[in-house]
Structure 1
Amino acid sequence: MARYASSTQRREWTFSAAHILESMREEARRGYVRHFPGRQVMDAERERRFRRHYEEHIFRWARSEALQLPRYAAATAVMLFKRFCLHNSLWEYDVEVLARACVYVAGKVEENYRAAVRVDAEREGAILAHELVVLEGVRFQAVCHHPYALIAAAFPDFSDWPRVDAALVRTDAALLLSPAALAMVLVGRELGYHHAVWEGHEHERERSFALVEQLMQQAAADDEVANSDGDWKALYSFYLANRNPLLNPNSPESLAQRQTEAAALEQQRQRHREQVRARDRQRAALLTNGDGWGADLK
């Protein structure tokens, strides 16, 4: 590998690619803070660990005995969540409902339908209400292309599918590489590194292998922190304290919104009552206008 790229060059490629995604997420965070000035958001590193927790949860839940979605459908659920987080701030939504809605939408996209009540009976209504939220959040780009089929077709003896799962779920590799390039990386240096698909594209091969290796190292480093005592509880508590206050029905913002909505509804009712009274007055005036025909109508 050193024949083609130095370690400095590999780091530059990785930084450049990751920077594009992080800049999109940073814009989503800034948008949330502008909308709710009194709230805070996590820094990029802590938010990555928080997001990773739910990405792994989505994959495990989709593959669970209750749903039994195939690998590619579970990967689609994760990809929908990843794409959603590029354009939207997690702080604005109930992340538990959002995660399950991604599983529900993925089942439809991959023609492995699972009813919302089967995904989560307690949150069935919320999941159905968030279906359009997910689709709008991913700009209706719900179709996902994964390396599973490519690997199975090109390398029939390949069996290390957990390795593929880990790359898709625990890293952003699928957002940065084409399915073919990612497939070649995941089958390993023994096969994928020397595959004919790279002929004439050695620079892209170097970039792809370096990128996935760097991302997997980052995921391993995150695991060390995430497994420490109290890390997840601290992240989740921070999320609950700073997420969209309208998600909490007892928050001052929710109470104020309900009061505003109640006042607007009362104004609408008052306008309707005034319109009814005006029509009644007009009708009475027509019936008593003294031209002779009104008396016959009484």
Structure 2
Amino acid sequence: MFPVSTQKKYWTFVDETDLIRLRQEANRKFVLKHGANMTEEQRKQTFLSAADERLLLRQYELQLRDFCRRFNPPMPRSVIGTAFHYFKRFYLHNSVMDYHPKEILVTCVYLACKVEEFNISIQQFVANIKGDREKASDIILNDELLLMQQLNFHLTVHNPYRPVTGLLVDIKTRCSLKDPDRLLPGIEELLERTFLTDACLLYAPSQIALAAILHAASKIQENLDSYVTETLFGRPSIDILPNIIEAVRKIRSLVRSIENPPREMVRQLEKKLEKCRNQENNPDSEIYKQRMQDMLDEEDERSSETYARLAREQANDEERLLGISKVLSPSAS
């Protein structure tokens, strides 16, 4: 499934330089559009850099994780993985200055609930959000179509959980490891941490799953090298084995390199973001409120026009029927 999926074709990249280039381009487009009349120095002082945006997004990835952890009712792992995919994909082509992560974050989770068939109403969903829940509901429903458009409607996500299950079954069947369920805590730990990296944009779910298995084995001081090289892949696949080993090594390296962003720096960037963000997409701004009102007015106008047209058509139909009935009545003869 994954090798022929949209995830593989459109959302899996060769290396991190591709991701850096896309994020820098999204940042550059926003700065050029909103700082067209500024000098280069003024732009630096006014707007976030691509590195600043990445730092902020790491903070919001932590918030996404914590939101899903606290969610009531408990959220399936597939929903969490899919939400992370959506969030990371969205900000490959969009700047945080255009669309604030706090609004896109909850929209990603809500859409993931739908796609992964975790059936929950918008009222149940926003009950997990602090603050103005009616406002949160409006933001999510207004941003849902935008999110799907920015994802190019590629909504199916292949997460590493199913490959992990398959590998555990195979280990229980063909490996001499005693009590493979001992691997589960280590597997869960690595899979959760991979979503705080770009691993899901760079590697296949099966590679991430294998990295989680080997990480868990090392934590309980077990060695699964012979299982991987001789049993899992064997001699017919010996040519691809070096690539798989390298992918696993890089995934585990990405996880080890995770660092929480400095709080003081995040606070400074948040303040700067509030000043330079696109006010047309800020639900608290007058520009945004007026735009929403204009859209409602246009919708009301279209509805009124449609109602008037239907009324005219109904009146014309009634007039025609009346004419026909007069022609067919006995008194007419």
Q: Same fold (TM over 0.5)?
A: yes
TM-score between both structures, scaled by the size of structure 1: 0.71
Deviates more, 1:135-144 or 1:34-43: 34-43
Give the C-alpha shift of residue 117 in structure 1: 2.4
Give the C-alpha shift of residue 186 in structure 1: 1.6
Write the distance in 1 (CA, Å) between the matches of 2:241 and 2:283: 56
Partner of 2:106: 100
Give the C-alpha shift of residue 108 in structure 1: 0.6
Give the C-alpha shift of residue 67 in structure 1: 4.1
Write the distance in 1 (CA, Å) between the matches of 2:51 and 2:249: 21
Give the C-alpha shift of residue 32 in structure 1: 1.1
Q: How does 1:217-232 map to 2 (within 5 A)?
A: 217-219=256-258, 222-223=259-260, 226=261, 228-232=262-266
Q: How does 1:261-272 map to 2 (within 5 A)?
A: none
TM-score between both structures, scaled by the size of structure 2: 0.64
Question: Is 1:134 matched up with 2:134?
Answer: no
Q: How many residues align?
A: 242
Asked if the contact 1:147–1:182 (Cα under 8 Å) also holds between the matched residues in 2, the reply is yes
Partner of 1:212: 251
Give the C-alpha shift of residue 86 in structure 1: 1.0
Write the distance in 1 (CA, Å) between the matches of 2:159 and 2:189: 14
> Identity of paired residues, percent?
26
Write the distance in 1 (CA, Å) between the matches of 2:166 and 2:87: 27
Report the CA distance shift for 1:250/1:127 in structure 2 as closer, same or farther (over 3 A): closer
1:173-205: per-residue Cα shift (whole Å, max 9, x none)? 011001111111121163375462464313312
1:164 to 170, 191, 196: 191
Question: Is 1:47 matched up with 2:53?
Answer: yes
Write the distance in 2 (CA, Å) between the matches of 1:138 and 1:250: 25
Partner of 1:288: none
1:113-165: per-residue Cα shift (whole Å, max 9, x none)? 32222222510111011111111111111111111111122115231212211
Write the distance in 2 (CA, Å) between the matches of 1:151 and 1:187: 7
Write the distance in 2 (CA, Å) between the matches of 1:42 and 1:217: 27
Report the CA distance shift for 1:87/1:209 in structure 2 as closer, same or farther (over 3 A): same
User: What RMSD, in angstroms, separates the aligned Cα atoms of the two structures?
Assistant: 3.0
Partner of 1:286: none
Report the CA distance shift for 1:137/1:67 in structure 2 as closer, same or farther (over 3 A): farther
Asked if the contact 1:101–1:127 (Cα under 8 Å) also holds between the matched residues in 2, the reply is yes
Q: Structure 1, unaligned stretches of length 5 or more?
A: 1-15, 269-298
Asked if the contact 2:159–2:205 (Cα under 8 Å) also holds between the matched residues in 1, the reply is yes
Report the CA distance shift for 1:33/1:229 in structure 2 as closer, same or farther (over 3 A): closer
Question: Is 1:196 matched up with 2:222?
Answer: no
Asked if the contact 1:59–1:75 (Cα under 8 Å) also holds between the matched residues in 2, the reply is no
1:89-126: per-residue Cα shift (whole Å, max 9, x none)? 12111322211100100001101132222222510111
Partner of 2:63: 57
Asked if the contact 2:53–2:95 (Cα under 8 Å) also holds between the matched residues in 1, the reply is no
1:25-73: per-residue Cα shift (whole Å, max 9, x none)? 1111111112211664433433222111212222221232424211111
Q: Which has the higher contact order (CA 8 A, sep 6+)?
A: 2
Write the distance in 2 (CA, Å) between the matches of 1:164 and 1:250: 36
Q: How does 1:25-44 map to 2 (within 5 A)?
A: 25-37=23-35, 40-44=46-50
Report the CA distance shift for 1:215/1:43 in structure 2 as closer, same or farther (over 3 A): farther
Partner of 1:246: 280
Give the C-alpha shift of residue 248 in structure 1: 4.8
Asked if the contact 1:29–1:41 (Cα under 8 Å) also holds between the matched residues in 2, the reply is no
AA partner of residue 163 (structure 1): L
Q: Structure 2, unaligned stretches of length 5 or more?
A: 1-13, 128-132, 170-180, 216-222, 302-333
